[in-house]
Amino acid sequence: KNQVEQSPQSLIILEGKNCTLQCNYTVSPFSNLRWYKQDTGRGPVSLTIMTFSENTKSNGRYTATLDADTKQSSLHITASQLSDSASYICVVSANPRGSTLGRLYFGRGTQLTVWP
Amino acid sequence: EAGVTQFPSHSVIEKGQTVTLRCDPISGHDNLYWYRRVMGKEIKFLLHFVKESKQDESGMPNNRFLAERTGGTYSTLKVQPAELEDSGVYFCASSPHLSLSTDTQYFGPGTRLTVL
């Protein structure tokens, strides 16, 4: 069964601190993994995308890692800001053999709150 | 460039009534997706249009849900008759290329549907 599990479910940190969010998946065949940020009342916005051969990718203060062997990913946020408060969703794309269709499988997200 | 827009932002209806949700994708995007997030669960795929054709509707929960994309522009998702378990947030997303798995999907803000 294709599943994406995220931890922790919620996290509170102080402004300026770092944090790491975790994602484990069982999606197969694997195509790529994305981290999305969803602000309250808005749709998810893509932060990073990694394919099978990529181990790490950065986007400003966001750094994502991928271990395709253990099927784990992490999102590290450096020097957190108040605006980082949001839900962070791990999304894995499955690419059925012989098809270019990419079905997306979503985690439930980690709700991050940054306090001043 | 305008993003994906959805209407209405909120809808409260009684069980047995009909509701129609609308999605306007980013202009020029051939791919249009519908997703749903039930409270406490992850976002799940409903269906995928390529232009006006249904490419994959395997995520549609039952025949009370009808999606259309006449002319390959905007799309509607009709729920008739609505049931309590249909409550949730319905997201629409669009992407430009033909079903490339690495293509980023751009999400709308969602329509929050409450069935009483």
Partners of A11 in beta bridges: A112
Please tell me the predicted confidence (pLDDT) of residue B99.
53
Please tell me the predicted confidence (pLDDT) of residue B100.
60
Please tell me the predicted confidence (pLDDT) of residue B83.
96
pLDDT, chain B, mean: 92
Mutate to test the interface with A, among B43, B48, B56, B58 (most CBs of A within 10 A): B43
What is the average per-residue pLDDT within B101-111?
A: 86
Cβ–Cβ contacts within 10 Å for residue A58, how many?
Answer: 12
* H helix count then E strand count, chain A: 0, 11
Q: Which residues of B touch A4 (CB under 8 A)?
A: 42
What is the average per-residue pLDDT within B55-83?
A: 93
Residue B51: pLDDT over 80: yes
What is the average per-residue pLDDT within A95-105?
A: 67
What is the average per-residue pLDDT within B37-63?
A: 91
Structure confidence by residue, pLDDT tens digits, A33-48 = 999 999 998 999 999 9
The amino acid at B99: S
Please tell me the predicted confidence (pLDDT) of residue B1.
61
What is the average per-residue pLDDT within A75-95?
A: 95
3-state SS, residue B17: coil
3-state SS, residue B71: helix
Query: Residue B42: which of A34, A103, A106 has the nearest Cβ?
Result: A106
The amino acid at B34: W
∠A91-A96-A97 over CA atoms, to 5°? 145
Whether residues A101 and B55 touch (CB distance < 8 A) is answered with yes
Whether residues A43 and B107 touch (CB distance < 8 A) is answered with yes
Total length of chain A: 116
CA atoms of A72 and A62, how far apart (whole Å): 17
Nearest CA in chain A to B38: A108
Closest chain A C-alpha to B40 CA, distance in angstroms:
8
- Helix locations, chain B, DSSP H: none
